[in-house]
Amino acid sequence: MLTIDQIEDFDRDGFVLIEGMFSIDEVAILRRAANLAARVREHTVVAHDADGNESPLAIWRDIGEDVFGMVSASPRVVNSMRAMLREDVYHWHSKVMLKYPEGGGAWEWHQDYGYWYRDGCPYPRLASAMIVIDEAMKVNGCLKVMVGSHLLGRLDHANVGNQHGVEPERAKALESRLPIQFVEAKPGSALFFHCNLIHASEPNLSEFSRLAYICCYNAFSNIPIIGQGHGPPIPIQLTSDDAILQFA
Ligand code: SIN
Ligand code: MN
């Protein structure tokens, strides 16, 4: 469970990094699934960054019975989300970010709410938990964030590659105004971030893979008012804390 200080960090900065939320053994199971599971192969789509590099990800809306589902419904993640959003949440989607060595593409500066507003959510009351699978370093394109940018509110987004990005001129100006933090983190760390936090990542030009699993949640007060949204707003059945290890 998060401490009051960690929740205050999230409120002030728009993100908080919790080291060691998952053990090395749990991450090893998750890594094997990220590399081998049919679910990942069958759900992979490819986004393109502004330079045309491929940024593949595997994305789904259901909480399955596999190791990914055990993480998305884990009390560690879901109860932290409830604490940060101050209410109960439901699963929005989960995705494996497949940033492979030597060429994994960039993600342009964006707010997730830039996408999810278009999905009909009335409020910016969603957040994500990025579970670090491979050590995230500057050299393999770790996430970078504009500290405190969630307080700007939702910004207009334009098409950049086939991604939605903060309008390039505004993103550039904000880069010189707000502190930029590269979120380097060890496997098993969890980065919780607000849907209006401006974030991006650079291409992976290194020999090191940078896989991460991101679970996203929406508050029950924020069910889409237009369209179908992502996952249906059903209460999450929490898994037990040792559920992941059962997939060893
Ligand atoms: C990344 O994995 O580098 C980007 C993740 C995101 O945009 O949520
Ligand atoms: Mn994002």
The owner of tokens 């890594």 is: 31
Task: Pick the closest to residue 212 from 18, 16, 47, 35 (CA basis).
Answer: 35
The verdict on residue 244 lying in a domain is no
CA distance 194 to 80: 12
| Domain that residue 57 falls in | 9-228
pLDDT in tens, 112-133: 999 999 999 999 999 999 999 9
Query: Does 143 contact ligand 1 (Cβ within 6 A)?
Result: yes
* Pairwise CA distance, residues 23 & 19, whole Å: 10
Does 201 fall in a domain? yes
pLDDT for the residue 230: 81
For residue 242, being part of any structural domain is answered with no
- For residue 107 and ligand 1, the question of a CB distance below 6 A is answered with yes
Which residues are CB-contacts of 19 (< 8 A; sequence separation ≥ 6)?
Answer: 185, 186, 188, 189
113 CB near ligand 1 (under 6 Å): no
Residue 208's closest CA among 226, 172, 225, 184? Answer: 184
Predicted confidence at residue 106, as pLDDT, reads 94
CATH code of the domain in which 126 resides: 2.60.120.620
Q: How many distinct structural domains can be found in the chain?
A: 1
Residue 97 is predicted with a pLDDT of 98
**Residue 240 falls within a domain, yes or no?**
no
Question: Does 233 map to a domain?
Answer: no
Ligand 1: does its nearest atom lie under 6 Å from the Cβ of 214? yes
Cβ(107)–Cβ(163) below 8 Å: yes
Question: What are the residue ranges in the chain where pLDDT is below 70?
Answer: none
Least distant ligand from the CA of 191 = 1
Question: Are 235 and 149 in contact, with CB atoms under 8 Å apart?
Answer: no
Ligand 1 centroid to Cα of residue 222, in Å, is 22
The amino acid occupying position 235 is P
Number of the ligand closest to the Cα of 116 = 2
Whether residue 34 has its Cβ less than 6 Å from ligand 1: no
- CA 97 / ligand 1 centre spacing (Å): 7
pLDDT tens digits along 18-41: 999 999 999 999 999 999 999 999
For residue 84, give both structure tokens.
Answer: 């940060």
